[in-house]
Structure formats: structure tokens, C-alpha cells
């Protein structure tokens, strides 16, 4: 089931996200996020009237997706950056695609024109998901991040809604 996030989801979302912080280059954060910090992030996005969805399977949150402003300048107001994370045990089961399709539909209905996905590279699964949904690679920033004693490239994929 895909549904809007509620504040009580913050603990499950933090747990999903913290796996990626501690074990991967997928996020550039380096310190785990508390459930309270995640609740603050959820509240901030909700205050912007941007969507944050969760995927629930058998009553358990197994993934989430949300959109943030692409940039703060007024001319960017029709563009958003999209993000999706899944419980590491749920990858390849279709939850990411369901979340992404739902969030893209909401964004289109709200009048947004462009969605951008930033992907720390390499990340074969995320690249495949974005391209399956019609995103096109538009840029790669070389060695823009540094985590786990290595330089990391970030690619940007864009989709017109």
C-alpha cells in the first residue's frame, strides 16, 4: 500500500535511511539520523505542500519517497528533486517503482514541470529505476562527494512531467 507519510512513520523511515548512511555511498550524510530529526524533515516537506509517501507491506513501512524544491530561486518553482529509499531487504520487489510512479503522478497533478533525481555513482539499481520511469541522464558531476575514503561522482537524471 502506498500512502501519505504520518509522523509516527519517522522511526521506521530513520531506520531505513540509517542503513544507507552507515553502509553505502548512496547518501552523503555520514551520521545516523534520529527519529526526531526525521520527523522534523517530514514536517518541513509537508509545510512546503510537497509530497512524501511511504510504501507499507503487511503493516510495515518498507520504503518512502518524497520531493523537495530543486532550488530556492523563483524561476525554479516548477522543478523538484525526487528521492526514494527502500528497506534493504525489499529491493527488487517493485516497491520503488510503485512509490516513484505515485509521487510523479502527484507532482504532475500539482503542476510541476520537471523532476530531477540525483544518484551517487555507481548505483545500478537506482539508475535502472529512473530510466525505466523515463528519466534521462543530463549530467555527471565528477568527484563531487567524499565518503568512506573515496571520491564519488553524482549523476543527475531528469524527467519532464
72-98: pLDDT as tens digits: 999 999 999 999 999 998 888 999 999
Decide if 157 is inside a domain: no
pLDDT of 91 = 86
Residue with cell 501519505: 4
Decide if 21 is inside a domain: yes
Decide if 131 is inside a domain: no
Nearest to 128 by CA among 160, 89, 84: 84
pLDDT of 108 = 98
Q: Based on the structure, what is the number of domains in the chain?
A: 1
pLDDT of 73 = 97
**Cell numbers standing for residue 113:** 514541470
CATH of the domain at 95: 3.40.630.30
pLDDT, tens only, 19-61: 999 999 999 999 999 999 999 999 999 999 999 999 999 999 9
**Cell numbers standing for residue 105:** 503522478
pLDDT of 47 = 94
Decide if 76 is inside a domain: yes
Decide if 135 is inside a domain: no
Q: How many CB atoms lie within 10 A of CB 53?
A: 21
Contact between 134 and 99 (Cβ < 8 Å) = no
Mean per-residue pLDDT, 110-129: 97
Mean per-residue pLDDT, 116-127: 96
Structural domain boundaries enclosing 44: 2-115
Decide if 87 is inside a domain: yes
Task: Please give the backbone phi and psi of residue 113, each rounded to the nearest 5 degrees, phi first.
Answer: -105, -35
Query: Could you give the CA distance from residue 10 to residue 41 in angstroms, rounded to a whole number?
Result: 9
pLDDT of 92 = 84
Q: How many CB atoms lie within 10 A of CB 58?
A: 6
What pTM did the predictor assign? 0.94
Decide if 104 is inside a domain: yes
Decide if 144 is inside a domain: no
Contact between 64 and 43 (Cβ < 8 Å) = no
Amino acid at each position: 500500500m502506498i500512502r501519505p507519510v504520518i509522523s509516527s512513520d519517522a522511526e521506521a523511515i530513520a531506520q531505513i535511511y540509517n542503513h544507507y548512511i552507515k553502509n553505502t555511498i548512496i547518501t552523503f550524510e555520514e551520521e545516523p539520523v534520529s527519529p526526531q530529526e526525521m520527523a522534523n524533515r517530514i514536517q518541513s516537506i509537508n509545510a512546503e505542500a510537497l509530497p512524501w509517501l511511504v510504501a507499507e507491506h503487511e503493516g510495515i513501512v518498507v520504503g518512502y519517497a518524497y520531493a523537495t524544491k530543486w532550488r530556492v530561486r523563483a524561476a525554479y518553482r516548477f522543478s523538484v528533486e525526487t528521492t526514494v529509499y527502500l528497506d534493504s531487504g525489499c529491493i527488487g520487489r517493485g516497491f520503488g517503482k510503485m512509490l516513484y510512479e505515485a509521487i510523479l503522478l502527484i507532482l504532475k497533478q500539482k503542476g510541476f514541470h520537471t523532476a530531477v533525481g540525483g544518484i551517487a555513482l555507481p548505483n545500478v539499481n537506482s539508475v535502472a529505476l529512473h530510466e525505466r520511469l523515463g528519466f534521462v541522464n543530463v549530467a555527471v558531476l565528477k568527484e563531487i562527494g567524499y565518503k568512506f575514503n573515496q571520491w564519488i561522482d553524482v549523476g543527475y537524471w531528469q524527467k519532464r512531467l
